[in-house]
Structure 1
Amino acid sequence: MNLENIMAAIENYGYWIILLTLFCGIVGIPSPEETFLVLIGMLTAQDHLQLVWTVISAFSGSLSGMLIAYIAGRFLGLPFLNKYGRFLKITPELWEKASTQFRRYGTLTILFGLFIPGVRQLAPYIAGTSRYPFTVYIFFSIIGSALWAISYIFVGFFIGDQIPLHYLPWIGVVALVVFIGTVFIKNKSLKGGSRA
């Protein structure tokens, strides 16, 4: 697939791809969220996506992921996570550590947890299982989702017009390699920690 076809796909389905990628990242399905946000910010700077719709799609994907994860935690609870948590890389040790932090810094975790990989996936489930007040949760989730999406998109937007378009696929490849390497290192450290 050449660059023109890739750009055509992004221009035609870009907003749905943005929403789905960020939704998956929040509920625990691995995706390179920060790198992806920077990349779509670069595409908006080069007029392949509209900035307003890009931000709305990213915000919607993040917020809907936080909402679904909260609902799953609240109504399906710990039995669900004990049964299926391994598919989301949620170990009992990780859950206990994250729960302790959430009890101590609940509001801050919801507000700024999106900026921390791992925390952004666990915090909504923990909020749901701990019966964190929904109105407070959704209020801070809205603010946190907006801050997270806008900050990374604008990083990409401000560097995007300084990088020639033909370099974008290579940036995507580098981002993918970094993402895979990060997942590999995290998995290795989790396995090492569980053996200790």
Structure 2
Amino acid sequence: MTETILALIPSYGLWVIFLTLLLCALAVPLPGSMLMIAAGSFASTGDIDLYLAMTVAYAGFIAGDQTAYGIAHALGPRLMDRFRKSNKVAPMVGRAERLLDRRGVLAVFLSHTIVSPVGPWVNYLCGAARMKWVHFSAASVVGAACWVAAYGLVGYYFADRLAELAQLANDGMGFIAAFAVAAGAGWWLWASWRRYRERIVAEETAEGRPLQEMEEKGQKI
């Protein structure tokens, strides 16, 4: 299944990405994380546009979230009772319920990022429990944006290590890898800024400019 979906990306990339992410949000067992990493990888070779792929993936993710919420909101607890009777999905529903009980609306964000396997079930539970749509949607859109950006950028910048990234995605560690990349980029920017400030101060000190003028310029940088 995974190989078939990935093989369709070069020809039908945007539609494949949109539909796969939409169905994943509805708890259809498709390789959404692997697909997003692969989309970033294909973007790095110019087969598809990275930002367009991420936008389409985001739209599919949100459409799936809203559909799952709407279905559960309409059918209510009856739908969740049917899920609980299924031996295959009952454990995931139980995990989603415990997360939602402990974290409330924050569970929506967490289930779209760090614990994404339970994300679809949190969507259904929020609809069945009649969580306010505004609260659900706010957490959903932020979480989906983080997920899409993390997986897409990791695939883009580490395209030559696609096999290792696939294993991370399958192990549920892809977001941790993405977080590490983001943290590394943040540290690099901070270190570069510090070096720039130190160079400016050194140059102005060598020129003998007043300390107050230096501080005022530093505040403007």
Taking structure 1 as the reference length, the TM-score comes to: 0.73
Paired residues for 1:83-162 under 5 Å: 83=82, 89-91=88-90, 94-115=92-113, 116-160=115-159, 162=160
Is there any run of 5+ residues in structure 2 with no aligned partner, and where?
Answer: 1-5, 173-221
Q: Counterpart of 1:75 in structure 2: which amino acid?
A: A
1:64 aligns with 2:34: no
CA distance in 2, matches of 1:110, 1:159: 28
Local SS of the residue matching 1:89: coil
CA RMSD of aligned residues (A): 2.8
1:28 aligns with 2:27: yes
CA distance in 1, matches of 2:77, 2:88: 15
1:12-56 C-alpha deviation (Å, 9 max, x unpaired)? 421010011111111111011211111111000110110111011
Q: Counterpart of 2:20 in structure 1: which amino acid?
A: T
Q: CA deviation at 1:89?
A: 3.5
Change (3 A) 1:74 1:117: same
Change (3 A) 1:97 1:37: closer
Local SS of the residue matching 1:38: helix
Taking every aligned residue pair, what percent have the same amino acid on both sides? 22
Q: CA deviation at 1:121?
A: 1.7
Residue matched to 1:188: none
- Which of 1 and 2 has greater Rg? 2
1:153-176 C-alpha deviation (Å, 9 max, x unpaired)? 00000012x46xxxx7xx49x959
Change (3 A) 1:88 1:77: farther
Paired residues for 1:40-59 under 5 Å: 40-59=39-58
Q: Is the 8 A contact 1:28 1:88 kept in 2?
A: no
Q: Is the 8 A contact 1:43 1:157 kept in 2?
A: yes
Q: Is the 8 A contact 1:66 1:124 kept in 2?
A: yes
CA distance in 1, matches of 2:152, 2:105: 24
Local SS of the residue matching 1:118: helix
Q: Is the 8 A contact 1:42 1:159 kept in 2?
A: yes
Q: CA deviation at 1:100?
A: 3.2
Q: Is the 8 A contact 2:95 2:118 kept in 1?
A: no
